[in-house]
Chains A and B, each alone.
Chain A
Amino acid sequence: MAVTKKSIVKTASIKTDALKALMGAALALPGISTAAEQGYRSEDIEIGVHHSEYTESGDRMTVKADQLSITGPIAQNFEANFSATRDVTSGASPVVNFLDGNGKPQQFLETGASIKDQRDIYEGTLSYYGDNSLSSIKLGTSEEDDYTSDYFSVSHSIDFNRKLSSLTFGYGHSDDDVWNSYNPSVLLEEPSIFNTRQKDEFHIGFGQIINKNTTLQLALTYVDSSGFLSDPYKKSFVVDEAIFDFRDINIDIAGIFRFLVDSGAIRFLNNSGITKILNESPLISIPFLSENVLGVTKDNRPEKREQWISLLRMSHYFKSTNSALHTDYRYSDDSWGAYSHTLEFKWNIGLGLGWQVSPGLRFYSQHSAFFYDTFFETIPDHGYLSSDYRLAGFGAFSKKLEISKEFGRDFTVYLHYEEYERQYDYEQGGQTNGDPLDDFEFRTFSVSFDVRF
């Protein structure tokens, strides 16, 4: 059969599209540039604008985030991406769990100060597109009132086996400074202590086209964190450290603090300057008193953490509905004993005329860290303790919906909504340390625009 020029061009085009899909599947991972995620170098300049709002239940935290991203080709084989993100957090976060009159722990939020924090992130990525490979280097910095992070990563992907398979290697490193934004006018706050932490990540991923409708990815990641890994704001209630076992004398510490907050007494102490005078007085140390009278003890975690994560991701195309089901299973284990399972489904349905609807479900189950408890009778022999709700045993269920509309090839709009529900008893495989007092929900809504020209 004679091979015409037209058929060669068509075959080459299909092959290029398939490579895009494979590379896209292998690289469709957060943290890399938009164009790299699509698996090929676009000749267009692409500008992305993103806004999202996060709201937590119980009048806790709200976060508003904005991002601007610019991606463009450079010379023959390079591509550059720059993004700037600002998120602003306000509200309150759990600090410590006090015991009530029945000896049950009760969550206690900020002690008169609500969080107001701004995070600015700047990232730049340079990518090189080889014949059968993609290499990227990323530099980034993140600044908050009480935290800075400088980081970089490199990754290299190659495709082989007639472009049916791909292999990705990645390495990332971050250097962080952490402290607490001390305000002497706020009760139970402590003077700032500057600390550092470091993180090294090693990542290897394998992508495979299984058949004409299915792709598969397997990724393994090792994360080594060291330094000050505690939270400078979190405290634990330790019965033995308090001057009395308040349960024996029927004193409801949680109720007393709740009354002091609700009646405005703590606000009065803070606003009148009395707290500031007490905090700055050389004769009195509120942190010492709070630990030795009330049993409020600093969060103290191991200075090293090793984490191993495996990710299995499968995508299958259904011709009858012009849709694709993306299934992820992720398992994480670490030296803190906080291992987790994550199962996620995302169903991308193409409706024609540029419309796409993507419902999604995510389930997460986490076992508690070995040094976590809602409160402690005594400081454990190993010396580590934390009552940070994020280290507890729990499960979480998310429902998501994304709708997108592409206008020609120049302009795309995305709307995204998620409801997340954390429940103590959603944990699978046996309940570990935790309590329903840490249950909460959040909702996020976001809108994004991508423009190409």
Chain B
Amino acid sequence: MTRTKRLTQIAIILSVLASSGCSYHKVQAWERGNLANPVMLRDANSSQAILEQHTYSAKESTAGGYSTGAGGCGCN
């Protein structure tokens, strides 16, 4: 990876963090109700999420990075 690419990558990550408007503070137990809301679970339908990643891996060259442990396929 070139230095430029690495810097671009870091810049994008920092931009996302900066633009999120969030600030870190120690969230107490009684403040965590919103985090437990079902909408905060990104993929409640895990079968769909797995299938989606499999589809992308069959049609794109650079899949992966979400977890470990998927088998290969002879997809066309």
Binding site for B on A (CB under 8 A): 11, 14-15, 17-18, 20-22, 24-25, 28-34, 37-38, 48, 50, 52, 54, 61, 65, 67, 69, 83, 89, 93, 115, 117, 119, 121, 138, 140-142, 144, 146-147, 149-153, 155, 162, 164, 170-172, 174, 176, 178, 197, 199, 201-203, 208-216, 219, 221, 223, 231, 233, 307-317, 319, 322-324, 326-327, 329-334, 336, 338-340, 346, 348-350, 356, 364, 366, 369, 390-391, 396, 402, 404, 412, 414, 416, 418, 420, 422, 442, 444, 446, 448, 450
Chain A hits for B50, CB < 8 A:
30-31
CA distance A162 to B16 in the complex (A): 26
Known A20-B36, A153-B68, A209-B32; judge A339-B62 contact (CB<8 A).
yes
Tell which of B29, B34, B42 has the most Cβ of chain A within 10 Å.
B42
Closest A residue by C-beta to B26: A164
Bound CA–CA A14/B62 (angstroms): 40
Interface pair B30/A11, CB less than 8 Å apart = yes
Q: Between A and B, how many residue pairs show CB distances below 8 Å?
A: 280
Q: Within the complex, what minimum Cβ distance (angstroms) separates A181 from chain B?
A: 9
Of the candidates A119, A312, A336, which one forms a contact with B16 in the assembled complex, judged by CB atoms under 8 Å apart? A312
- Indicate if the CB atoms of A331 and B60 lie closer than 8 Å: no
Would A402 and B9 be within 8 Å (CB), given that A30-B52, A151-B71, A442-B59 are in contact?
no
Q: Tell me if A's interface is mostly helix, strand, loop or mixed.
A: strand
* Contact present for B37 and A322 (CB under 8 Å): yes
- Report chain A residues within 8 Å CB of B41: 21, 24-25, 28, 37-38, 348
Give which listed residue, A199, A211, A327, A448, contacts B23 with CB less than 8 A.
Answer: A211
A149, B59: Cα distance in complex, Å: 19
